[in-house]
Amino acid sequence: MHTSVVALSQGKVRGSVTGSVHEFLGIPYAAAPLGAALFQAPGPAPSWDDERDATHFGPTAPQLGYQEPLRSILHNPAVEGAEFLNLNVWTPDPAASGLPVMVWIHGGAYRLGSSAVSVYNGHAFARDGVVLVSLNYRLGAIGFAALEGTPANRGLLDQIAALQWVRDNIASFGGDPGQVTLFGESAGGMSVATLLASPLTEGLFHRAIIQSANGTIASTLEDARLVAADFAGRLDTTPETTPIPALLEAEQNLVLDFTLNQNPSRWGQSTITASLGLMAFHPTIDGHTLTQLPVEAIAATTNVPLIIGTTADEFRLYSAPTGLTTALTPETLTNVLTARGLDPAIADTYSANRPDATPGDVLAAILTDFAFRIPTIHLAEAATTAYAYEFAWPTTHLDLRACHAIEIAFVFDTLAAEGTKMLLGPDTPPQTLAAEIHRAWIDFAHGRTPWDAYNPDTRPVMTFNTPRSQLVSNPRADERELWSNMSRPEF
């Protein structure tokens, strides 16, 4: 194996070289959060005297992992160790200068995932002239429970610390700290929206890409304290002195209760509303890291150019593998919509536009719009400059179609990576489509205009699909208009 050595202020790191790409894995950007530090702001990055081996992924953040059926669909390796606040760098040439930088934040509902997922390999970005950085951050209750006496949003503070590390060190890998594009998917995309809104990120990134996310995911501090108190009450000792396995077990049990029992007096209305009833642990409007909902802050202050979009069938990742798309009855469809505060009559338009759809298919389409597409449109409308997209290529695997997370392997051009077929299935996905969307993200990182900017008059959306992608004006306008009176969360 060929190796490559880069000198940082922390010490030298020794990575590997494959073809033209230099890869440095598992570099700590903050102190290992041991003991009481597990629930404090990230500490200073460590230093070392000898060359540090950076040829293997570092530890991943503590988590229990996905449950079935998602465990069989989403690749999610676990690496044990205390130094899980680490990042990875892929570069075409550490001796270069001025290369555009892209920083990836992984998804996983703020409770799962890591930068070691095979699909997130940054080789193709570096091959094509970009310095790619991916990072780990604290998850679940460890990262986001608003416990008394601890800073809220520890997971976000980790992400900010990683961005500060990039600012201070990326030139050593050939990157330009003044040309950083932040991007992420799902909770990673929500993180990007939140970091856009944070007063602590000024100058740390200059463009952003938000994939399959939502700009309304944040609770009031008062309500977040309710969830955190419930979590602490499940422990035999204080959170700081509780072993990590016991913390994760308490978190898992709380999340199950939260999902099954949407009681505002127990969890706080803003926690339920902002998380769509799905995520007990997520960012908090704490007055420090975050002062208002991301969509509101983006509308008021940000002028960072965005690419923002969704997949065409987001919610099928959660409904199709469980059999819900085939088993749901018309009566249950009505009940589910009513329970979410939605007018069941909206199903008429969705059904008419999909004459062969089952009630489960209709529900998946409605919840795709409710949780992803409509909030994405709100973000696009709020931003100064936004380029909207929809990824519409469908897999036949498990009837997932163009489900949540399907576009990531195309964006990273990692269709052949280990674990990709878990989601995409045995069929051969179109490499031409991967080349197209991967190039669009790279062009944007260079500051080039990818396609027509979103505007409320023509609403252009780049639809990525085969046999060709095309810019579509105001797609599915009748369905979008059904949500025109849908209010954003107000706490």
Q: What are phi and psi of 484, to 5 degrees?
A: -65, -25
Instruction: Give 18's strand partners.
Output: 21
**Hey, what are 212's tokens?**
């399959």
Q: Which is nearest to 28 in space by CA: 1, 53, 62?
A: 53
Q: Read off the amino acid at residue 289.
A: T
**Hey, what are 401's tokens?**
């179609």
Contact 278, 255 (CB under 8 A): no
Between CA 137 and CA 192 the distance in angstroms is: 13
- Angle (CA) 463 431 211, round 5°: 45
Beta-strand pair 131-135/99-105: parallel
Between CA 38 and CA 140 the distance in angstroms is: 12
Tell me, rounded to whole angstroms, the distance of Cα 93 from its chain centroid. Answer: 28
Query: Which is catalytic among the residues 251, 314, 390, 407?
Result: 314
Contact 22, 90 (CB under 8 A): yes
CA distance readout (Å), 71 to 62, 66, 301, 316, 423: 16, 5, 39, 15, 10
* DSSP H helices in 451-491: 477-482
CA distance readout (Å), 428 to 394, 401, 421: 12, 14, 9
Write the CB contacts of 260 (distance below 8 Å, at least 6 apart in sequence): none
Between CA 81 and CA 60 the distance in angstroms is: 7
DSSP annotation of 53: E
H or E element at residue 138: none
Q: Read off the amino acid at residue 184.
A: G
**Hey, what are 260's tokens?**
């099954």
Told to judge if 2 belongs to the known catalytic residues of this protein, a careful annotator would answer no
Told to judge if 186 belongs to the known catalytic residues of this protein, a careful annotator would answer yes
Contact 265, 272 (CB under 8 A): no
Write the CB contacts of 3 (distance below 8 Å, at least 6 apart in sequence): 14, 15, 16, 17, 55
- Angle (CA) 293 294 296, round 5°: 70
Place of tokens 């500051």: 447
Write the CB contacts of 162 (distance below 8 Å, at least 6 apart in sequence): 29, 30, 85, 87, 103, 133, 135, 137
**Hey, what are 434's tokens?**
């991967």
Query: Which is catalytic among the residues 390, 404, 438, 469?
Result: 404
Told to judge if 123 belongs to the known catalytic residues of this protein, a careful annotator would answer no
Tell me, rounded to whole angstroms, the distance of Cα 78 from its chain centroid. Answer: 18
Q: Annotated catalytic sites, by residue?
A: 186, 314, 404
